[in-house]
Protein backbone atom coordinates (compact mmCIF):
# COMPACT_ATOMS: atom_id res chain seq x y z
CA UNK A 1 0.00 0.00 0.00
CA UNK A 2 2.89 2.32 0.83
CA UNK A 3 4.37 1.82 -2.68
CA UNK A 4 1.04 2.71 -4.28
CA UNK A 5 0.87 5.89 -2.20
CA UNK A 6 4.44 6.78 -3.18
CA UNK A 7 3.77 6.16 -6.90
CA UNK A 8 0.54 8.18 -6.73
CA UNK A 9 2.39 11.02 -4.98
CA UNK A 10 5.12 11.05 -7.64
CA UNK A 11 2.53 11.15 -10.43
CA UNK A 12 0.77 14.09 -8.77
CA UNK A 13 4.09 15.90 -8.32
CA UNK A 14 5.09 15.39 -11.95
CA UNK A 15 1.72 16.47 -13.36
CA UNK A 16 1.54 19.41 -10.97
CA UNK A 17 4.91 20.70 -12.17
CA UNK A 18 4.34 20.54 -15.90
CA UNK A 19 6.90 22.36 -17.96
CA UNK A 20 6.20 25.57 -19.79
CA UNK A 21 6.39 23.50 -22.98
CA UNK A 22 3.42 21.38 -21.87
CA UNK A 23 1.49 24.52 -21.04
CA UNK A 24 2.20 25.87 -24.51
CA UNK A 25 1.19 22.58 -26.12
CA UNK A 26 -2.17 22.78 -24.35
CA UNK A 27 -2.57 26.29 -25.74
CA UNK A 28 -2.22 24.96 -29.27
CA UNK A 29 -5.16 22.62 -28.69
CA UNK A 30 -4.66 20.92 -32.06
CA UNK A 31 -5.09 24.22 -33.91
CA UNK A 32 -1.58 24.15 -35.40
CA UNK A 33 -0.66 27.54 -34.04
CA UNK A 34 2.66 29.04 -35.16
CA UNK A 35 5.43 28.64 -32.57
CA UNK A 36 6.04 32.37 -32.49
CA UNK A 37 2.36 32.98 -31.74
CA UNK A 38 2.41 30.59 -28.79
CA UNK A 39 5.43 32.40 -27.31
CA UNK A 40 3.79 35.79 -27.97
CA UNK A 41 0.48 34.71 -26.40
CA UNK A 42 2.21 33.52 -23.24
CA UNK A 43 4.22 36.74 -22.85
CA UNK A 44 1.16 38.86 -23.72
CA UNK A 45 -0.60 37.55 -20.60
CA UNK A 46 2.43 37.69 -18.28
CA UNK A 47 3.98 41.08 -19.10
CA UNK A 48 1.78 44.18 -18.86
CA UNK A 49 4.20 46.47 -20.72
CA UNK A 50 4.53 43.89 -23.51
CA UNK A 51 0.75 43.61 -23.70
CA UNK A 52 0.26 47.37 -24.01
CA UNK A 53 2.98 47.58 -26.68
CA UNK A 54 1.37 44.78 -28.71
CA UNK A 55 -2.11 46.23 -29.07
CA UNK A 56 -3.08 48.40 -32.03
CA UNK A 57 -4.45 51.58 -30.43
CA UNK A 58 -7.21 52.64 -30.58
CA UNK A 59 -8.34 49.02 -30.66
CA UNK A 60 -11.34 48.13 -32.81
CA UNK A 61 -13.96 46.01 -31.12
CA UNK A 62 -17.13 45.79 -29.08
CA UNK A 63 -17.56 46.69 -25.38
CA UNK A 64 -18.62 44.15 -22.75
CA UNK A 65 -22.39 43.65 -22.49
CA UNK A 66 -22.99 45.77 -25.58
CA UNK A 67 -26.39 44.33 -26.41
CA UNK A 68 -27.80 46.29 -29.33
CA UNK A 69 -25.98 49.53 -28.43
CA UNK A 70 -23.20 49.00 -30.94
CA UNK A 71 -24.57 48.74 -34.44
CA UNK A 72 -21.62 50.07 -36.42
CA UNK A 73 -17.87 49.59 -36.46
CA UNK A 74 -17.04 52.89 -34.73
CA UNK A 75 -16.29 51.60 -31.21
CA UNK A 76 -12.62 51.67 -30.17
CA UNK A 77 -10.98 50.56 -26.91
CA UNK A 78 -8.69 53.28 -25.58
CA UNK A 79 -5.24 52.83 -24.06
CA UNK A 80 -5.98 55.07 -21.06
CA UNK A 81 -8.82 52.88 -19.72
CA UNK A 82 -7.69 49.43 -20.85
CA UNK A 83 -8.03 46.57 -18.35
CA UNK A 84 -5.03 44.26 -18.64
CA UNK A 85 -5.83 40.77 -19.84
CA UNK A 86 -4.81 37.97 -17.52
CA UNK A 87 -4.48 34.22 -18.10
CA UNK A 88 -7.69 32.23 -17.53
CA UNK A 89 -7.80 28.97 -15.60
CA UNK A 90 -9.90 26.95 -18.04
CA UNK A 91 -10.09 23.97 -15.70
CA UNK A 92 -12.15 25.88 -13.12
CA UNK A 93 -13.57 28.95 -14.89
CA UNK A 94 -16.42 27.41 -16.85
CA UNK A 95 -14.93 28.84 -20.05
CA UNK A 96 -13.26 27.14 -22.98
CA UNK A 97 -10.97 28.54 -25.66
CA UNK A 98 -10.71 27.84 -29.35
CA UNK A 99 -8.39 29.21 -32.01
CA UNK A 100 -9.10 29.60 -35.69
CA UNK A 101 -5.89 30.26 -37.64
CA UNK A 102 -7.10 32.15 -40.72
CA UNK A 103 -3.60 32.51 -42.23
CA UNK A 104 -0.02 32.31 -40.96
CA UNK A 105 -0.44 35.94 -39.93
CA UNK A 106 -4.02 36.12 -38.58
CA UNK A 107 -5.56 34.10 -35.74
CA UNK A 108 -9.03 34.43 -34.23
CA UNK A 109 -9.57 33.32 -30.65
CA UNK A 110 -12.98 32.68 -29.09
CA UNK A 111 -13.40 32.25 -25.35
CA UNK A 112 -16.92 31.02 -24.60
CA UNK A 113 -18.78 29.92 -21.51
CA UNK A 114 -19.37 26.17 -21.61
CA UNK A 115 -23.13 26.71 -21.32
CA UNK A 116 -23.01 28.64 -24.60
CA UNK A 117 -24.44 31.88 -23.22
CA UNK A 118 -21.47 34.30 -23.35
CA UNK A 119 -18.27 34.71 -25.35
CA UNK A 120 -15.51 37.11 -26.22
CA UNK A 121 -13.49 37.26 -29.41
CA UNK A 122 -9.94 38.42 -30.02
CA UNK A 123 -8.06 38.72 -33.30
CA UNK A 124 -4.29 38.66 -33.46
CA UNK A 125 -2.21 39.57 -36.51
CA UNK A 126 1.41 40.06 -37.46
CA UNK A 127 2.28 43.71 -37.95
CA UNK A 128 5.84 44.75 -38.78
CA UNK A 129 7.04 41.23 -38.04
CA UNK A 130 5.42 40.90 -34.57
CA UNK A 131 2.10 39.62 -33.26
CA UNK A 132 -0.43 42.21 -32.06
CA UNK A 133 -3.97 42.23 -30.75
CA UNK A 134 -5.96 43.96 -33.49
CA UNK A 135 -9.58 43.40 -32.36
CA UNK A 136 -11.37 42.68 -29.09
CA UNK A 137 -15.08 42.02 -28.69
CA UNK A 138 -15.68 41.93 -24.93
CA UNK A 139 -17.85 39.42 -23.11
CA UNK A 140 -21.31 39.46 -24.68
CA UNK A 141 -24.27 37.12 -25.07
CA UNK A 142 -23.92 34.74 -27.99
CA UNK A 143 -26.46 35.45 -30.68
CA UNK A 144 -28.04 32.54 -32.50
Q: Is 87 in contact with 95 (CB distance < 8 Å)?
A: no
Query: Model's pTM, two decimal places?
Result: 0.78
48-57: burial string, b at 16+ Cβ within 10 Å, e else:
eeebeebbee
Q: What is the CATH number of the domain that holds 40?
A: 3.10.450
pLDDT at 69: 63
Calculate ∠ Cα 44-48-53, nearest 5°: 70
The count of domains in the chain is 1
Q: Is 113 in contact with 94 (CB distance < 8 Å)?
A: yes
pLDDT per position as a tens digit, 4-32? 333 333 222 223 333 344 444 456 555 68
pLDDT per position as a tens digit, 69-102? 655 678 899 999 999 999 999 999 999 999 999 9
User: Considering the chain, what is the average pLDDT of its residues?
Assistant: 81
Its domain, for residue 114, covers 2-141
pLDDT at 31: 61
Helix (H, G, I), strand (E, B) or coil at 106: strand
Total count of residues recorded for the chain? 144
Amino acid sequence: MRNITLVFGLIMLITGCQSNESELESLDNGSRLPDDFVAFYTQFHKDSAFQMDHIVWPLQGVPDNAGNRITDQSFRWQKNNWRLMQPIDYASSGYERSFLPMTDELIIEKIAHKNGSMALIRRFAIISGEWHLIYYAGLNPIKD
